[in-house]
Amino acid sequence: MNTLQPKAEASSPVALHPEAPVPLFGDTGFIATDPDKILPSEESGRWLIRQDKGRLAASGALLYLAGRWYVLPSLFRAAVIEMGRDAARAKFIEAAQ
């Protein structure tokens, strides 16, 4: 057991997802390399981050560490899928009224 690393809290997104955070305003190529292409382009992913930073942060997909923003790609992908589900639900509710 590595005793040099601090123990992560059980509720911490980093503890649940051991992947390394990616600098948000650096390499967002993980969006373009997503095998399922849930977003059409890397730029559309950047737009989504600008528009819904609060929701992405609440999901654990965005981290703010030492004055810099980072993203956890797997949580980002899950958050985008959930946002799409919510948008679809809202459209059906809107259409039913």
Q: Residue 50 burial (CB < 10 Å; 0-12/13-18/19+)?
A: exposed
Interaxial angle between packed helices 73-96 and 42-51, expressed in degrees from 0 to 180 and rounded to the nearest 10: 70
| pLDDT value for 19 | 63
Q: Nearest Cα to 80, choosing from 32, 31, 43?
A: 31
Confidence of residue 23 (pLDDT cuts 50, 70, 90): low
Confidence of residue 21 (pLDDT cuts 50, 70, 90): low
The residue ranges of every structural domain in the chain are: 21-96
Average pLDDT, the chain: 75
Confidence of residue 55 (pLDDT cuts 50, 70, 90): very high
Confidence of residue 76 (pLDDT cuts 50, 70, 90): confident
Q: CB of 74 within 8 A of CB of 67? A: no
- Between 73 and 96, residue with greater pLDDT: 73
